[in-house]
Structure 1
Amino acid sequence: MPVKALGLSALCLLFLCLLSLLIGAGDVSPAESLRALLGGGNDNARFTLFELRWARTELALLVGVALGVAGLLMQAVARNPLAEPGLLGVSAGSSFAVVVAILLGASTASLYLSAAFIGAILGCALVMLVLRMRGVGDDPVRLVLAGAAFTGLLQAGSSMILLSDQRTADEIRFWVVGSLAGRPPETFFWTLPGLILGGLIALPLVRPLAALALGEQVAKGLGHHPHGVRLATLLSVALLVGAANAAAGPIAFLGLIVPYIARRFVGTDIRKLLGLCVLLGPCVLLLADIVSRLVVRPYELPVGVVTAFIGAPILIAVVRTHRLPSL
């Protein structure tokens, strides 16, 4: 089944990449886009395809992989199906740091990435503290409520900054809702190192995290160090979320949706889930981005709005499935 699921996911990803190149909210039809892709077409079609949609599709691949894997890692280290970067405040911490950086005069992509990473690190540290709180870390509902409180606090802080500084508000207005549109082509290249480094840290953690899923004492008995595994995992999550947020802004629920779908196919073993999430993350984000181009044509919705519409029912389903009998 894992091989079949991987094959189907890979085919789905290729199909969605093609759709992303051919379909848009503008006046270039899919037929014109296809001719441009095959080497023909007019100048307008070639510009739309290769300068706009191509870069957007590349960015969706990177951000989808980063957030899909980050969601899986966070759920594994927290041993909680609702431990998602957007729900627990990691993305909000990253976004708040970027807002503060812009307020202080940051204007280059590298500074955005550094600020997003630092904010994600602080968000991950808070998650660790919340997980150690008695009665919170073991309860999915209370964990999400704690994350929502932290997210609301940071969003309120961001809003205060945006209301008090017009330049910051103008620069970040569209970024803060999560979008793949309007990003310069070089965005892909300066966020790629964060994805690669986060992935390289995550790969050796797969076996320790699989052991940690059996319990801390079992993991220690197998020669692993749970505290070190948690720290390394959250460092990987911070790199992945920081890179994704710096590139596309905070995109809600993707880290919840992707592992949830993957578990429907291959179960709960993280060794099987990781490869599938690498493929499903871009699939879900590309699908959401294609929908965002079509539902209000000739305008577009931010992709973060679409993922929120997809993720909200999944959040309710997960809460209902994992709620405690006493609730």
Structure 2
Amino acid sequence: MKLSQTATSATSVLRSRSRPITASIVLVGGIVALIFGLGLSISVGAANIELSTVWAAVFFYKPNLTTHQIIWELRLPRAVAGAIVGACFAVAGALMQGMTRNPLADSGLLGLNAGSVFAIALCFAFFPDLPYIYLILFSFLGAGLGSGLVFGIGAFARNGMTPIRLALSGAAVSALLVALSEGIANYYQVAQDMAFYYAGGLAGTKWFQLQWMFPWVAAALIGAMVLSRPITMLSLGEEVARGLGQRTARIKLLATIVVLILAGTAVSAIGSVGFVGLLIPHVVRYLVGVDYRWIIPCSAVMGGLLVVLADLGARMVNPPYETPLNALIALIGIPFFLFLARKGRRELE
């Protein structure tokens, strides 16, 4: 009876804290802003190309024109990859925060990104001619290794793993895996290839990478939407989720698989970029409420927008050179992380 009352109360809280009208506005506005950001990203670059030429290159491509080649082969895949990767990191962070009820959950903070980079370093060292599809698969396995080490350490915590302790464990595991990656890269002389994955960036993204990424990302995002209602129940508490008939162990397993696919695919494309999955879900949750049926699609759109704009900033800070994408996003993410840690220190410890 008590569990049923708790579940009923949680359901009423969920309804009262959901804002579907605001969520619709955020989603539509985010899509419009993302389209505008993609157009701006395609238009800006080292080569000065008029907007009319950009429009013609996108919709009336002529392969014999150099300007059209620049737009279609360099700028367009880069912009699209930014939107896809931003969506991956943001949705992965949203799922992790909802599943673990940890406000500091993020693929970068909890070792997934570092694990993926470690696996990629192994590939470059021992399998240098590996096709890109297998690089994605190894990136999945590396993300699983990183998260397994972090949560494995958490299992030995005497008083349980609080969010702060989990973040500290993630930082330690990430430092270890990055150090191992750098050691492998230096010893096997692949440091130049790995420098891209440490700094993070969209330069050099090609259409064939997007072709391999798209099926994985599409399947994972669909899976995230299917899991959105159960994740909402989990975010209200595991007992509540059980009281509402959810099989929590199965949901966590499926959500973990989705997170590994999203994080692994994103890292294989642009390297280890952190804080997108930490920042975006909190902002979206503040705007749309606690219903993950809205949080996940809004996070995907806003995450894509953040990475596209950050990549645009990376090209404009010190042209013609590019600032590492990871550094620009960290300028926002690190203060936000410190704000969350300070705000919730009494509950977290």
Shift of 1:71: 0.7
Of 36, 45, 49, the residue aligned with 2:54 is 36
Which residue in 2 is equivalent to 1:66? 88
The letter of the residue matching 1:211 is M
Of 109, 124, 135, the residue aligned with 2:132 is 109
Number of residue pairs aligned between Structure 1 and Structure 2: 322
The letter of the residue matching 1:35 is T
Shift of 1:130: 4.7
Q: Indicate the larger mover: 116-125 or 146-155.
A: 116-125
Which residue in 1 is equivalent to 2:16? none
CA contact (8 A) 1:250 1:304 kept: yes
1:14 aligns with 2:35: yes
Measured in 1, the distance between the counterparts of 2:347 and 2:201 equals 39
Shift of 1:221: 1.6
Measured in 2, the distance between the counterparts of 1:285 and 1:200 equals 21
Of 150, 158, 161, the residue aligned with 2:184 is 161
Shift of 1:134: 4.4
Measured in 1, the distance between the counterparts of 2:214 and 2:207 equals 12
Alignment of 1:149-188 (within 5 A): 149-166=172-189, 168-188=190-210
Measured in 2, the distance between the counterparts of 1:135 and 1:100 equals 36
CA contact (8 A) 2:228 2:292 kept: yes
Which residue in 2 is equivalent to 1:95? 117
Shift of 1:318: 1.4
CA contact (8 A) 2:78 2:203 kept: yes
Instruction: Show structure 1 runs of 4+ deviating over 6 A.
Output: none
Alignment of 1:96-245 (within 5 A): 96-107=118-129, 108-130=131-153, 132=155, 133-135=157-159, 137=161, 139-166=162-189, 168-245=190-267
Measured in 2, the distance between the counterparts of 1:10 and 1:212 equals 28
Shift of 1:171: 2.2
Measured in 1, the distance between the counterparts of 2:253 and 2:308 equals 31
CA contact (8 A) 1:216 1:226 kept: yes
The letter of the residue matching 1:202 is A
Shift of 1:140: 2.5
Describe the shift of the 1:326–1:310 C-alpha distance in structure 2 as closer, same or farther (beyond 3 A).
Answer: closer
Q: TM-score, normalised by structure 1?
A: 0.92
Measured in 1, the distance between the counterparts of 2:154 and 2:102 equals 10
Deviations 1:100-128 (A, max 9, x none): 11111242201211110111122233344
CA contact (8 A) 2:164 2:348 kept: no
Which residue in 2 is equivalent to 1:267? 289
Q: TM-score, normalised by structure 2?
A: 0.87
Which residue in 1 is equivalent to 2:6? none
Describe the shift of the 1:184–1:7 C-alpha distance in structure 2 as closer, same or farther (beyond 3 A).
Answer: closer
Measured in 1, the distance between the counterparts of 2:201 and 2:265 equals 14
Which residue in 1 is equivalent to 2:14? none
Describe the shift of the 1:127–1:194 C-alpha distance in structure 2 as closer, same or farther (beyond 3 A).
Answer: farther
Secondary structure at the aligned position of 2:207 is classed as coil
CA contact (8 A) 1:136 1:143 kept: no
Describe the shift of the 1:4–1:148 C-alpha distance in structure 2 as closer, same or farther (beyond 3 A).
Answer: same
Q: Identity across aligned pairs (percent)? A: 34
Measured in 2, the distance between the counterparts of 1:215 and 1:4 equals 28
Deviations 1:249-295 (A, max 9, x none): 11111111211221231123322211111110110000100000000
Measured in 2, the distance between the counterparts of 1:236 and 1:313 equals 28
The letter of the residue matching 1:21 is I
Segments of 5+ residues of structure 2 without an aligned counterpart are 1-21
Measured in 2, the distance between the counterparts of 1:126 and 1:270 equals 27
Deviations 1:290-312 (A, max 9, x none): 00000011111121221111211
Describe the shift of the 1:219–1:82 C-alpha distance in structure 2 as closer, same or farther (beyond 3 A).
Answer: same
Secondary structure at the aligned position of 2:102 is classed as coil
Measured in 2, the distance between the counterparts of 1:310 and 1:45 equals 34
Segments of 5+ residues of structure 1 without an aligned counterpart are none
Shift of 1:131: 5.0
Aligned Cα RMSD in Å? Answer: 2.0
CA contact (8 A) 2:86 2:305 kept: yes
CA contact (8 A) 2:150 2:166 kept: no
1:307 aligns with 2:329: yes
Shift of 1:88: 0.7
Measured in 2, the distance between the counterparts of 1:264 and 1:186 equals 37
